Structure 1
């Protein structure tokens, strides 16, 4: 098992990408602590894992913007298991819809940065003393491809994620001599509940996702939470023991190459060359 007896905290672990990571880690032998604001759902996920022979704990509700709740969960984790090996900062999101210069308010701005940037830092600063004491740790932050290459305008969210990329690089530099790795994952279009605040589930959203995948994703499909979990596992295990300060795009090629249908030369529309 790649994470045998490793102690991991996963924020946002009650659903979507976070839930997939929790379950993947548990299947690889990790002892996982879910830190999530949706505590009832987190307990349900933990019970499912424990019922199949894994080990998963929830030490109460965790709003990552609440320093006291963050501190309590970190301290209870160390009290119960003696250390923290892995921190996955998956919690975050937007309030509703897009955030453009036409409709954004500074209240919106502050709330989204507080959740995505300050919440991430709350977790990191609470966990780091214990990782430093062990001389080992793996931290995986979540950013967004839209931070520096936007496909739509979400000013506050993308600003926060851009800052997280800077935090990742700076912490990786600072902590490398202490045996602590810091990397980030930039998800592309992934089928999760993240989309619920942007568009309600249904046939219209299904068509939207199909068209999005065909137009934007080189591999031609939407990603799954399990696609993200596999990369998080790599960055949290010994497989990545010579990797720090990196960002991995997980978007079916997005962020690295373009899809055939996003360029006229290779698209289906070009019947002159592509016969």
Structure 2
């Protein structure tokens, strides 16, 4: 059985991606730090696990003979903070979760994809990589690295018919969005005054908006697309 792996599968965006893929007929294996996922389906296998643990990831990936796709939806946010107040520990945490995890998971699945001569890898980055906001320097750097890593892997893996693409979500209506507000700020007010007003289409991005784009990029309809970055941002990147 060919499966699609989704990291960060218990989060708001991750769960929307899992549900959309299952509804489209994919068999999905999810992994996250949360003990369990609130989504349940016969075609969805969930495991608790830290994707920064290379041994755990190798065991998780090793359960399946064929891996058709990977969606790296795991991510950590940053509250708006001046650079002089950002600790080295926090910088390293953001880089580990948002970048190192992509390396570990990609390294684990590529041998199986090479053997099959097919596969699709999607890395969820952020429109902030091209339209920065002040005070998010660690997060923005990590998402820029995620996009560059995707492009590097796209050219390296193209001879094996493995496609690698990036999605840049705009401000998404998930629990993570409030974490970008400055410490002590009114989260709901920040959502309206900062994030909604920054989107030309005038609304936050729904997790399902991202999930539908993931489904397309994993499908055969996108078989000629690799090394691309899709902005699902309501025009925020303009």
Note whether the superposition's TM-score is higher than 0.5.
yes
Moved more, 159-168 or 149-158: 149-158
Tell me the alpha carbon deviations over residues 83-129 of structure 1, each in whole angstroms, 9 at most, x when there is no partner: 100100000113x5234312111111111111111111110000110
Q: Distance in 2 between matches of 1:10 and 1:99?
A: 30
Moved more, 155-164 or 176-185: 155-164
Secondary structure of 1:7 counterpart: strand
Q: Distance in 2 between matches of 1:114 and 1:83?
A: 27
Alignment partner, residue 35 of structure 2: 39
Between structure 1 and structure 2, the one with the greater Rg is: 1
Unaligned runs of 5+ in 2: none
- More strand by proportion, 1 or 2? 2
Alignment partner, residue 45 of structure 2: 57
1:160 to 135, 142, 148: 142
Alignment partner, residue 269 of structure 1: none
Secondary structure of 1:186 counterpart: strand
1:73 to 60, 85, 95: 60
Q: Distance in 1 between matches of 2:135 and 2:222?
A: 33
The answer to whether the 8 Å contact 1:9/1:33 transfers is yes
1:90 to 70, 73, 83: 73
Tell me the alpha carbon deviations over residues 142-189 of structure 1, each in whole angstroms, 9 at most, x when there is no partner: 111212320232121111111111111111111111100000001101
The answer to whether the 8 Å contact 1:36/1:61 transfers is yes
The answer to whether the 8 Å contact 2:6/2:72 transfers is yes
Number of residue equivalences: 235
Secondary structure of 2:173 counterpart: coil
The answer to whether the 8 Å contact 1:173/1:245 transfers is yes
The answer to whether the 8 Å contact 1:61/1:69 transfers is no
Alignment partner, residue 199 of structure 2: 217
TM-score by length of 1: 0.81
Q: Distance in 1 between matches of 2:195 and 2:130?
A: 20
The answer as to 2:228 corresponding to 1:246 is: yes
**Alignment CA distance shift 1:23-1:214 (3 Å):** closer
The answer to whether the 8 Å contact 2:178/2:187 transfers is no
The answer as to 2:18 corresponding to 1:22 is: yes
Secondary structure of 1:39 counterpart: coil
Q: Which 4+ runs in 1 deviate beyond 6 A?
A: none
Q: Distance in 2 between matches of 1:195 and 1:11?
A: 18
The answer as to 2:158 corresponding to 1:171 is: no
The answer to whether the 8 Å contact 1:99/1:156 transfers is no
